[in-house]
Amino acid sequence: MSGMYLVMILGLMIVAPIVSVVIDYSAGGGAGDVLLLVGNWFVFWAVGVRLFTAGLSQSFRPEFTAGNILGAKAADRSVLQIVQELGFANLGFGLIGILSLPFAGWTVPAAVAGGLFLGLAGIRHIAKSGKNTKEWIATLTDLLVFVVLAVFVIYVWTTGAGTAVG
């Protein structure tokens, strides 16, 4: 399961956004603002699809996150309830990220909400000792996406660039 988890996380949070940027940029003949494309596609894949799929897993299989990611030894009912509620929040973040693709005006708010969530989660994971491989992967990818989205949001806010990318 660890290999599949790694493929899914790296695929959704790094590979798919980069491939989408390259395809989108190439389809436009090199026209367009690369930072807007990066923001658009990282929001869609890393916030949208990634958090939505995490939300599904946490909502329906809270014991996976509790045991395999967080290292909870005995998944008591209160831990499972908290993980499920985290899943519900991830479903909401993820849906907004997915819908940012057809509704370009949602891209920056989704980047702020999802990026802040991932950044704070990554920082919280850093402070935890005894992380397993899956938690290290989650920590590093959360922080990477946070940085990418922070640069995107700062760029949009300081330049007034639009988020309608096509």
Domain boundaries, the chain: 2-159
For residues 50 and 57, what is the distance between their CA atoms, to the nearest angstrom?
11
| pLDDT of the residue at 129 | 87
| pLDDT of the residue at 71 | 66
Tokens 């993980």 sit on residue: 83
| pLDDT of the residue at 102 | 93
Dihedral of the alpha carbons of 127, 12, 165, 116, in degrees to the nearest 10: -20
Q: What are phi and psi of 74, to 5 degrees?
A: -115, 115
Give the pTM.
0.88
The one-digit pLDDT tens for each residue of the chain (166 residues) are 467 888 888 899 899 999 999 999 999 877 679 999 999 999 999 999 999 999 999 999 998 888 766 666 666 778 888 999 999 999 999 999 999 999 989 999 999 999 999 999 999 989 888 887 878 888 999 999 999 999 999 999 999 886 444 4
| pLDDT of the residue at 76 | 73
| pLDDT of the residue at 3 | 79
The SS3 of residue 165 is coil
